[in-house]
Amino acid sequence: MKTVYGVIGDPIEHSLSPVMHNAAFRHLGMDCVYYAFRVTLEDVRDAILGAKALGFGGLNVTIPLKERALEIVNADPIAEEIGAINTIDFKDGIIGYNTDGIGAKRALKKHNISVKDKRVLLLGAGGAARAIAFQLAHDGAGLIIVNRTAPRAVKLAQDVRGVGDAIGTDMGDLATLVKKVDILINSTSVGMHPDVDKTLVTADMMHPDLVVFDIVYNPIETCLLKEARKAGALTIDGVNMLVHQGAESFRIWTGREAPVKVMEDAVRCALKR
């Protein structure tokens, strides 16, 4: 009997997680299939409990459900600390994990970027931002978290200071902050399809020694990354994080190492189409 996996979120039509995971299942000859399901905040509890009852192998959780879903699962310590989940495993109950931080860390490592003692400007304070902030703080980065609404950034920074160095503020002084940091990470949805012409930071605000990492993966080259190239900065696209967080979810569900290159090739091929 085929094992079903899936991703829940709202909106969900843009997700390439099905492309990525189904490519992995085919490559490894596993009798599994992965679908995307549109689920609202109001229905997330029913969706998770229903997936468990129907015998799903696991779920991914995306915007805007990551924090609400935490209330429904038994979270592992890292996800509990972060305050958001993106992966649910049903083998032994309903266990929630967060692989976003690991995905970001591995994406940076792939490009030989170490965050230890680096100044990192993190745009956004949502579920993905929480995971990235905790991971990078654990790894020795000094974080400046900025958000459209300052209280949310300040709260996240306060939480992160339990494990590392972080401050939170609004976006009012963004141009000055960008010039003071080594790494810029966009964890917001700004620039995501269909609003591909939007960016929070432009080339004139950047410097050539900057590393610019956008977790948005559709389009592959966001407006932010185009601006970074103009400034001579090193760029890292969102496919890197998508694939590495997905590979960790795959390992949690199946106990097998994911075919990372197969997954990445499938995503990049789909995006080119």
- Neighbouring CB atoms inside 10 A of 180's CB total 11
pLDDT of residue 1: 85
CA distances to 23, 215, 260 from 27, rounded to whole Å, are 6, 26, 11
Q: What is the end-to-end Cα distance of the chain in Å, rounded?
A: 32
Give the model's confidence band at 211: pLDDT under 50 very low, under 70 low, under 90 confident, else very high: very high
Q: Which amino acid is at 269?
A: C
pLDDT of residue 240: 96
Give the model's confidence band at 63: pLDDT under 50 very low, under 70 low, under 90 confident, else very high: confident
pLDDT of residue 90: 98
pLDDT of residue 152: 96
CATH superfamily for 101-236 is: NAD(P)-binding Rossmann-like Domain (3.40.50.720)
Domains 3-98+240-272 and 101-236 share a fold: yes
Structural contact between residues 160 and 168, judged by C-beta atoms closer than 8 angstroms: no
Predicted confidence (pLDDT) per residue in 65-81, tens digit: 999 999 999 999 999 99
Predicted confidence (pLDDT) per residue in 93-121, tens digit: 999 999 999 999 999 999 999 999 999 99
Q: Which residues pair with 235 in a beta bridge?
A: 212
- Neighbouring CB atoms inside 10 A of 103's CB total 27
pLDDT of residue 160: 97
pLDDT of residue 226: 98
pLDDT of residue 45: 98
pTM confidence score: 0.92
CA distances to 24, 104, 128, 175, 252 from 171, rounded to whole Å, are 39, 22, 18, 9, 37
**Spatial separation of the C-alpha atoms in residues 156 and 37, rounded to whole Å:** 29
pLDDT of residue 127: 84
- % residues pLDDT > 70 (the chain): 100
Which of 240, 126, 242, 134 has the alpha carbon at shortest distance from 188?
126
Q: Please check the confidence at residue 88 and state whether its pLDDT lies above 90.
A: yes
Ordered alpha helix ranges (H), the chain: 17-28, 44-53, 66-70, 77-82, 100-110, 127-138, 150-160, 174-180, 223-230, 238-254, 260-272
Q: What is the CA radius of gyration of the chain?
A: 18
Which of 260, 242, 124, 104 has the alpha carbon at shortest distance from 189?
124
pLDDT of residue 260: 97
Query: Chain-wide mean pLDDT for the chain?
Result: 96
- To the question of domain 3-98+240-272 being in CATH 3.40.50.10860, the answer is yes
- Catalytic residues, which ones? 66
Q: Please check the confidence at residue 130 and state whether its pLDDT lies above 90.
A: yes
**Spatial separation of the C-alpha atoms in residues 263 and 239, rounded to whole Å:** 10
Predicted confidence (pLDDT) per residue in 167-209, tens digit: 999 999 999 999 999 999 999 999 988 889 999 999 999 999 9
Provide mean pLDDT across the span 250-263. 98
Sequence ranges of the domains in the chain: 3-98+240-272, 101-236
Q: Which two tokens stand for residue 108?
A: 């940076």
Q: Which residues of 199-219 are buried (b: 16+ CB within 10 A; e: fewer)?
A: bbbbeebbeeebbbbbbbbbb
Give the model's confidence band at 18: pLDDT under 50 very low, under 70 low, under 90 confident, else very high: very high
Provide mean pLDDT across the span 87-95. 97
Give the model's confidence band at 92: pLDDT under 50 very low, under 70 low, under 90 confident, else very high: very high
Provide mean pLDDT across the span 11-38. 96
pLDDT of residue 14: 84
